[in-house]
C-alpha cells in the first residue's frame, strides 16, 4: 500500500519574518508533494544585488519538511567600497540571526 500526501494538505505557520501574505498557499508541486517558499529580503542593495532568507516548506508522505537557505543575489559584486562591503556584512549578520530562529510547525 502506497501512502500519499493529501490533495490539499494543511498549511504550516509562516515564519515571523515571511514577507508574503499570511497563509499564502502552495506555490508548486514537486515530485514528493506541494511546496511553498517563505521569503524575507534582508537588504536590496541595489538593482542587481540583494540578500534574502528563504524557507522552503514541503508536504511529503512523511509530513511537513522545512529547509532554510540564505540567498546572495550578487550579480555585480565587484568594486564595492568599504561602506558597501560593511552593508553586506550587516545584512548577512541579520540573515544569520533570522536563520537561527526556531522552525514553526
Confidence band of 6 (pLDDT split at 50, 70, 90): low
Q: Residue 3: what pLDDT?
A: 45
Distance CA 103, CA 105 (A): 7
CB 60 within 8 A of CB 32: yes
Q: Residue 25: what pLDDT?
A: 94
Buried/exposed code over 48-61 (b: 16+ C-beta within 10 A; e: otherwise): ebbbbbbbbbbbbe
Tell whether the model's pLDDT for residue 2 goes beyond 80: no
Report the relative pairing of strands 28-30 and 33-46 from DSSP bridges.
antiparallel
* Cell matching residue 43: 537588504
Residue 73's nearest CA partner among 98, 97, 46 is: 46
Q: Residue 1: what pLDDT?
A: 38
Span 36-87, pLDDT tens digits? 999 999 999 878 889 999 999 999 989 999 999 999 988 766 677 898 889 8
Span 10-43, pLDDT tens digits? 999 999 999 999 889 999 998 889 999 999 999 9
Q: Residue 74: what pLDDT?
A: 81
Beta bridge partners of 29: 34
Residue 11's nearest CA partner among 34, 30, 41 is: 34
Q: Residue 49: what pLDDT?
A: 84
Amino acid at each position: 500500500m502506497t501512502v500519499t500526501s493529501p490533495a490539499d494538505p494543511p498549511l504550516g505557520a509562516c515564519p515571523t519574518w515571511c514577507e508574503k501574505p499570511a497563509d499564502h498557499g502552495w506555490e508548486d508541486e514537486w515530485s514528493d508533494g506541494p511546496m511553498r517558499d517563505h521569503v524575507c529580503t534582508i537588504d536590496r542593495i541595489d538593482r542587481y544585488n540583494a540578500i534574502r532568507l528563504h524557507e522552503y516548506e514541503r508536504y511529503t508522505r512523511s509530513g511537513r519538511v522545512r529547509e532554510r537557505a540564505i540567498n546572495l543575489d550578487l550579480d555585480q559584486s565587484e568594486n564595492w567600497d568599504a561602506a558597501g562591503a560593511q552593508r553586506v556584512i550587516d545584512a548577512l549578520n541579520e540573515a544569520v540571526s533570522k536563520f537561527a530562529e526556531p522552525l514553526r510547525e
